Structure 1
Amino acid sequence: MQSLKYTAMAKCSFDLNFSEEAAALVQKFQSRITTAGGTFTGNDGNGVFTVKTPVGAVEGNYTVAGNVITINIVDKPMFLGCDMIEGFIRKELQ
């Protein structure tokens, strides 16, 4: 398994617990990102993503360990708060 690295320091970081299989969660995450016109490169263990918003792009990475996915936002528009990004991702992955 190839490990994908993103070296920028996170501006936001949060963990999401999940009960489904990691592959299903990552597939759902990838689908939501690409449907929104973003890019996604990753696997069941880790990856990177970028998605455009009306106020600018959000870039991040994720890692999966057990039943927890950790999402790190490494670049975001100044006017888009971390709590808004986290809330959106939580809603999309439920």
Structure 2
Amino acid sequence: MADPADDSWKNMVKAQPAVAEAERAPGAAPRAASFAIELTEDGLLLKIRREDGKIALVELSPDMALYLREYLTNGLASIGYIRPRS
């Protein structure tokens, strides 16, 4: 069983890579075609197949997976994909 979440989020936030303007340009970043998530002994493996056929594999700790979920949820809400509950 994984350890409970801690407050290491502060270090994760400080270590976030910046996104350059060139990386924001349409078509600059490869699109994800599909993904798979597999459980490990103490976390998750996120495997992303890109449209160009390349595969990216990332191991996520439970804390990092929670942060990613929260960032994705907030990002989707920011662009209007998730509407507030009424």
TM-score normalised by the shorter chain: which range applies?
Answer: 0.3 to 0.5
Larger Rg: 2
TM-score normalised to structure 1 length: 0.30
Larger strand fraction of residues: 1
Identify the structure with bigger relative contact order (alpha carbons < 8 Å, sequence gap 6+).
1
